[in-house]
């Protein structure tokens, strides 16, 4: 991790702790902002549901840790304004020339096998950049890869074994049906909250290692432990705008070893 990346992560962690939730919610209600996540879905190259989730989580944290996100740098102001609200994310799909248009916008692309996902700079919900506004929001529901379970794929592709540093585990709530678009937004939230809220030493070690992560579905027993605070975890509570009821705990992130998670 460069000193610029360390400075970016340090700023977001401090800023998150000093901005009261009530103030964030009130500001978001007055003028909501969102962070676009764009999944590339070409006709001849379609990612799986799992691949899109992994790439979405990576794209979000790499965007926040980018040197351009540090104070006084070009990306900082829109990211800070967005972070002062509810950190909402909107997932869209793109292909062909529309993907190329999106790729030209400021942001970070994460690639995991067949998945390419780009996290862009946030914008007011009422003022969507034209290349983003052309993209479809609803209906992103990719096939689940039957040969690769979320708990085992794709750790080797993001350097976990080689780096030997902490690995972030994103834990999905058991038996909670979500479309790919919804799931990508939720794991993006979980990765971001892990970066902001979990133990600093582990977080900086994780960033140094290149953000290695795994995504697993919890058993009911393990999920009760996560929600109940038996391990240090950053819990995602959904606002209920789409697909799930308000207040639903959709997923969480942790560096803890959870033996009863099923792969």
The Cβ-side half-sphere exposure at 209, using a 13 Å CA radius, reads 23
> What's residue 161's pLDDT?
46
Average pLDDT, whole number, for the chain?
A: 88
Q: What is the pLDDT of residues 204-220, one digit of tens each?
A: 999 999 999 999 888 88
Q: Which helix (H) or strand (E) holds 214?
A: strand 213-217
Q: Which helix (H) or strand (E) is 239 found in, with range?
A: none
Within 26-159, strands assigned E span 33-40, 89-94, 107-112, 115-120, 123-124
Summarize pLDDT for 48-99 with one digit per residue, the tens: 999 999 999 999 999 999 999 999 999 999 999 999 888 999 999 999 999 9
d(CA 165, CA 255): 11
How deeply is 185 buried, as exposed, middle or buried, from its count of CB atoms within 10 A (0-12, 13-18, 19+)? buried
Residues comprising the chain, all counted: 263
**Percentage with pLDDT > 70 across the chain:** 87
Mean pLDDT, range 147-157, rounded to an integer = 46
Tokens of 91: 């997932």
Q: What is the mean pLDDT of residues 132-159?
A: 68
**Number of neighbouring beta carbons within 10 Å of residue 210:** 16
pLDDT, residue 30, reads: 77
pTM of the entire predicted model: 0.91
Check residue 155 and give its pLDDT.
40
**How far is the C-alpha of 90 from the C-alpha of 119, rounded, in Å?**
10
Q: Contacts for 62-65 with beta carbons within 8 Å, 24 or more apart?
A: 62/108, 62/110, 62/119, 62/211, 63/35, 63/107, 63/108, 63/119, 64/8, 64/9, 64/12, 64/192, 64/195, 65/1, 65/5, 65/8, 65/9, 65/195, 65/207
Cα–Cα distance, 254 to 129 (Å, whole number): 34
Q: How confident is the model at residue 146 (pLDDT cuts 50, 70, 90)?
A: low
Strands 168-172 vs 123-124: parallel, antiparallel or unpaired: unpaired
């Amino acid at each position: 991790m460069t000193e610029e990346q360390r400075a970016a992560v340090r700023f977001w962690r401090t800023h998150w702790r000093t901005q009261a939730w009530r103030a964030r919610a009130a500001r978001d209600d007055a003028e909501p902002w969102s962070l676009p996540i764009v999944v590339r879905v070409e006709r001849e190259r379609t990612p799986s549901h799992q691949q899109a989730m992994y790439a979405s989580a990576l794209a979000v944290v790499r965007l926040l840790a980018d040197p351009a996100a540090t104070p006084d740098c070009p990306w900082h102001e829109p990211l800070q304004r967005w972070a002062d609200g509810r950190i909402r994310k909107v997932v869209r799909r793109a292909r062909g020339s529309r993907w190329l248009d999106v790729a030209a916008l400021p942001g970070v692309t994460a690639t995991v096998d067949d998945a390419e996902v780009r996290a862009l700079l946030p914008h007011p919900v009422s003022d969507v950049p034209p290349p983003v506004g052309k993209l479809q929001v609803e209906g992103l529901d990719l096939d689940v890869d039957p040969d690769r379970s979320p708990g085992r794929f794709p750790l080797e592709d993001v350097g976990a074994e080689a780096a030997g540093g902490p690995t972030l585990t994103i834990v999905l709530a058991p038996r909670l049906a979500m479309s790919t678009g919804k799931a990508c937004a939720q794991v993006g939230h979980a990765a971001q909250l892990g970066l902001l809220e979990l133990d600093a030493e582990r977080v900086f070690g994780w960033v140094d290692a290149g953000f290695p992560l795994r995504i697993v579905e919890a058993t009911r027993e393990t999920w009760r432990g996560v929600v109940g605070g038996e391990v240090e975890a950053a819990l995602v509570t959904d606002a209920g705008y789409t697909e799930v009821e308000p207040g639903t705990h959709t997923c969480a992130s942790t560096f803890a070893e959870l033996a009863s998670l099923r792969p």
